[in-house]
A and B are shown apart, each in its own frame.
Chain A
Amino acid sequence: MILSDLLGSEVRDAQGQKVGLVADARFALNGPVRGSGSVAGARMIGLVVGRHGASRRMGYERRDVNRPWPLAQILGRRDRGSFLVLWPDIESVRPGQVVLRNGFTRHDASL
């Protein structure tokens, strides 16, 4: 699957209610190393779901970048309310729509 088909997709819960948009996809480098000198395989651990979808906030998203103060306030505000959904909580995926399982957990999305 092409990742840009996934980013920005609608995220719904098991009852069909819209929960947000896919803001980002999170990977961890703990997969098998496939060649000499290669970095470890990147395994998807979950999706970051937010209200605004997959756009850039110039680096102010979820990190310790908080200067200059005025820009950080204006641009960082867009991230409030985003959360991380782990892979086991995802029920189905197709371009434009992700459905979560019943009783999914909202984890903290900050890095």
Chain B
Amino acid sequence: MKRLLGVALGILTAIGGFVDIGDLVTNSVVGARFGMGLAWVVVIGIIGICAFAHMSGRVAAVSGRATFEIIRERLGARAAGANLLASFFINLMTVTAEVGGIALTLQLASSITYLAWIPVAAFFVWLVVWRVKFKILENVTGLLGLCLVAFAVALFQLGPNWLDLAGQALNPTVPGNESPWTYWYYAVALFGAAMTPYEVFFFSSGAIEEKWGPKDVAQSRINVLVGFPLGGLLSLAIAACAAVVLMPQGITVSSLSQVVLPVAEAGGKIGLIVVLVGILAATFGAALETTLSSGYTLAQYFGWTWGKRHRPAEAARFHVSMIATLLVGIAILATGVDPVMVTELSVVFSAVALPLTYVPILVVANDPQYMGDAVNGRFLNGLGTIYLVIILAAAIAAIPLMVITGAGA
């Protein structure tokens, strides 16, 4: 019975933890402009993140080495250094977006301006990273993140034409008022939002933090294969809500209040409260993961002692670098830049950064020196190679598309 509860907890946490501010904003923006016409990208993204999150966890568990240690060893100091600069910069962008997301949610919930919430949000993110145990952090944010199911509930309450929605998804067309370039730009953005690079850093470092053995790898496989797709369904629900409520009225998404509008319409005040709790938990959880990822990547490249399992006094550089990251995030947000725009840019840049993280993982997963007998099987390699092509295509296309479409204007 206890085992069953443990498995359930893992799955539920994976579902609730899947969505972050990037998924929220991008799916909503896309739903309002393209209906369900980009749903296929979400599906591709989910399969991809399942394969690579599990692969990186397995590599960490079997080899005992975390992602950026491996990147440094395989690529050498120079290439890995360039990789670090790019990954860290994009991670910083994501941290900023997530902290901004927390502040926006708190602004929606209270009537206090978002700018006042920024330092509060960052402080609490830091406090949890500083003091709270890894497992608790994951479980609480994951379970509360399940409140995002309010989007799915709202969708049912709205009584949409299901056939119509399915038709949009299965037979994607570019709406008359949009250009195909913008369609593909948002395809790349959605892909980057689903395949978040920081997930690989976080997953593999977490596997080492928690000292995964074979049983944990098996549990993780269940969490990922069951939890992530269900979490992906939440992404689709967010898009569908926007498609059903915002698109017919020609409302485009530029703020968080528009993202939650469908839920408020369908579920009233209670629905709104539940969904805000869900967004707060999901964004807070993602802020924790990305902040930790910044610490992990720096520490693993430079060879600092790292990990939440150590007392901060034993991992001083690790913790100082995360404090610095959060401070820079606060500074960026304090300039008054629109956090929704930061979010939209961060997912596109994430798509550019994807090859930097995924190629080394795929390579090391095949290296007997690290994996012994547990190297990738044919199926996973085949899947991994196909995704390598997709990832490279998205990475190469991202910036040109951004320029051509003016970042999706």
Contact = CB atoms under 8 A, between A and B. Distances in A.
Contact between chain A and chain B defined by CB under 8 Å: yes
Interface in B368-396: 368-369, 375-376, 381-382, 384-385, 388
A58 B382 CA distance: 19
A67 B75 contact: no
Contacts, number: 42
B107 interface: no
Interface of B: 74-76, 79, 359-360, 362-364, 366-369, 375-376, 381-382, 384-385, 388
A64 B373 CA distance: 13
B385 A68 contact: yes
Interface string A71-89: 1000000000000000000
B74 A58 contact: yes
Contacts of B375: 67
B75 A58 contact: yes
Given A65-B367, A65-B368, A56 B74 contact: yes
A55 interface: yes
A56 B381 contact: no
Contacts of B382: 68
Given A67-B381, A68-B381, A58 B363 contact: yes
Given A67-B375, A67-B376, A59 B385 contact: no
Contacts of B363: 58-59, 71
A37 interface: no
Contacts of A63: 369
B88 to A, nearest CB: 20
15 contacts: A55-B76, A56-B75, A58-B74, A58-B360, A58-B363, A59-B367, A63-B369, A64-B368, A67-B376, A67-B381, A68-B362, A68-B381, A69-B385, A71-B359, A71-B385
Nearest to A66: B366
A59 B376 contact: no
A58 B388 CA distance: 15
A71 B381 CA distance: 11
A35 interface: no
Nearest to B74: A58
B384 A56 contact: no
